[in-house]
Amino acid sequence: MTSPSIARPVRSGIAGICHAPDPDDSQAQKMETLGRLAGGVAHDFASLVTLIAGYSDILLNRMGAQDPSRPELEEIRNAAARGAGMTRQILDFIRKEAARLAIVQLNAQVAETLRLMRPLIGEHIQLVATLDPNLGVVQADPAQTTRVIMNLILNARDAMPHGGSIRIRTANTELRADAWHRLPPGSYVMLEVSDSGEGMDPATLRQLFQPYFTTKGSGGTGLGLSTVHRIVEEAGGGIRTRSEAGRGTTFTICLPRAEQANEIAGPHPLRRAPGVGAETILLAEDEDSVRKLLRHLLDGCGYRVLEAADGLDALRVFEEHASSIDLLLTDVIMPGLNGREVARKALAARPDLKVIYMSGYTDDALLNSGAFGPGMSFLRKPLKLDILSVLIREVLDGPAPGGSLA
């Protein structure tokens, strides 16, 4: 629900009598409306990506390593994985979630982002990347890091309507005391994005990171660079801009270098479902095609599956089979009765029942509020069937209530 506009007095002879709507509030309301629309589209797209990736996984697991159709099917699966990543980025932006920190290899993030964005840049712009092969790692949110890179590249593209070049560079750097305002001295990883575009005058530079400030007229939201600034600062880093009208712009980001870890954030490898199970699972999912896919997966793992098409149906099925159900696998947002209410009523009758929630809508505030209850298990959409199958086995084998955030 949008909040009402806060009126401010117009400067006149009698202060406080005449009021005008605050343009910032109007813009915020527009952005909230757009965010809701984008969230609905992204949620629906998440279901489509789940289906494409899920059935690709099932077929790949049936195929031999030398099957002639395998390379084409792997390309479909890879495309679905990229679509899932982009969907998560949209949903993460809309939800404004707290950062989920991991050890990130910036070179890999840059390379993948460039590969995805080359078709969007256009043939009239040259992309040149100079990546330090010995680059250190950083501790950051992988999705947010990709968003920073994408925003800077798109900003550079828009500054060159008639063509030019975008140069991206990474390097290790040591900052001395007071070298960067508010950044402590130490070891950092640097990301630099330069363009040969129109550049900016000093007045524009001073407003560059302010929310809703844009140089693109009605075609810009003014949120791209303010988002970049927020993400970089939340990761403990800093950002600087050098620009001159007619001579291009350079954005330089420094992020604190982290200790190398054994596992670095990246795409999950394809894993076969671990073993089989004989337990009974109540599957509550209102999207017919997604429910059919999940039924296929669970049947293949040996589970007994009871299906429900919405929350009220799930409650009815539970009441009929309460003593035999081992796990409730439920979507959060469903018609009639949401997944949390289904779980609450089911746990009142069966405190030992294991529960896994799924959703593409749930935001960080809801998770942090404890609305799902202690020991909850939650899987974000688009779903990855290999991760879901692992989580199901972990929850069923663990204590009640058990689980993890995936």
Residue type present at position 118: R
Measured over the CA atoms of residue 223, residue 224, residue 225 and residue 227, the dihedral's sign is: positive
Domain boundaries, the chain: 21-95, 106-258, 280-397
Mean pLDDT of 360-384: 61
Instruction: Write the pLDDT tens digit of every residue in 85-117.
Output: 667 666 655 555 556 678 899 999 899 888 877
How far is 303 from 61, CA to CA, in rounded Å? 18
pLDDT computed for residue 14 by the predictor: 33
How far is 6 from 22, CA to CA, in rounded Å? 6
- What confidence category does residue 136 fall into, taking pLDDT thresholds of 50, 70 and 90? very high
pLDDT computed for residue 365 by the predictor: 41
Count CB-CB contacts under 10 A for residue 395. 22
How far is 49 from 56, CA to CA, in rounded Å? 11
Residue 300 has pLDDT above 60, yes or no: yes
Name the residue with higher pLDDT: 65 or 187: 187
Count CB-CB contacts under 10 A for residue 340. 21
Name the residue with higher pLDDT: 121 or 298: 298
Q: Over the Cα atoms of the chain, what is R_g?
A: 25
Residue 373 has pLDDT above 60, yes or no: no
pLDDT computed for residue 382 by the predictor: 81
Contact 140, 230 (CB under 8 A): no
How far is 293 from 48, CA to CA, in rounded Å? 11
pLDDT computed for residue 107 by the predictor: 94
Mean pLDDT of 177-202: 86
Tokens of 190: 């640097």
Dihedral through CA 367, CA 101, CA 153, CA 53, nearest 10?
-60
pLDDT computed for residue 117 by the predictor: 78
Q: SS3 string of the chain?
A: CCCCCCCEECCCCCCCCCEECCHHHHHHHHHHHHHHHHHHHHHHHHHHHHHHHHHHHHHHHHCCCCCCCHHHHHHHHHHHHHHHHHHHHHHHHHHCCCCCCEEECHHHHHHHHHHHHHHHHCCCEEEEEECCCCCCEEEECHHHHHHHHHHHHHHHHHCCCCCEEEEEEEEEEEECCCCCCCCCCEEEEEEEEEECCCCCCHHHHHHCCCCCCCCCHHHCCCCHHHHHHHHHHHCCCEEEEEECCCCCEEEEEEEEEECCCCCCCCCCCCCCCCCCCCCEEEEECCCHHHHHHHHHHHHHCCCEEEEECCHHHHHHHHHHHHHHCCEEEEECCCCCCCHHHHHHHHHHHCCCCEEEEEECCCCHHHHHCCCCCCCCCEEECCCCHHHHHHHHHHHHHCCCCCCCEC
- Give the contacts of 178 (CB within 8 A, at least 6 positions apart): none
Residue with structure tokens 């149906």?
A: 313
- What confidence category does residue 307 fall into, taking pLDDT thresholds of 50, 70 and 90? very high
Count CB-CB contacts under 10 A for residue 4. 8
pLDDT computed for residue 27 by the predictor: 55
Name the residue with higher pLDDT: 342 or 274: 342
For 191, how many CA atoms within 13 A lie in the half-sphere containing its CB? Answer: 26
Class of domain 280-397: alpha beta
Residue 208 has pLDDT above 80, yes or no: no
- Give the contacts of 32 (CB within 8 A, at least 6 positions apart): 2
Percent residues over pLDDT 70 in the chain: 71
The architecture of the domain spanning 106-258 is 2-Layer Sandwich (3.30)
pLDDT computed for residue 212 by the predictor: 45
pLDDT computed for residue 400 by the predictor: 60
Average pLDDT, the chain: 77
- Give the contacts of 21 (CB within 8 A, at least 6 positions apart): 5, 7
Count CB-CB contacts under 10 A for residue 403. 22
Instruction: Write the pLDDT tens digit of every residue in 323-344.
Output: 999 999 999 888 889 998 999 9
pLDDT computed for residue 317 by the predictor: 97
Mean pLDDT of 194-211: 74
Name the residue with higher pLDDT: 159 or 225: 159
- What confidence category does residue 210 fall into, taking pLDDT thresholds of 50, 70 and 90? low
User: Under the phi-then-psi rule, with left for phi > 0, alpha for psi from -120 to 50, and beta for the rest, what region is 144?
Assistant: alpha
For 151, how many CA atoms within 13 A lie in the half-sphere containing its CB? Answer: 25
Highest mean pLDDT among 60-74, 193-207, 337-351: 337-351
Instruction: Write the pLDDT tens digit of every residue in 215-244.
Output: 554 434 334 577 788 888 888 898 888 888
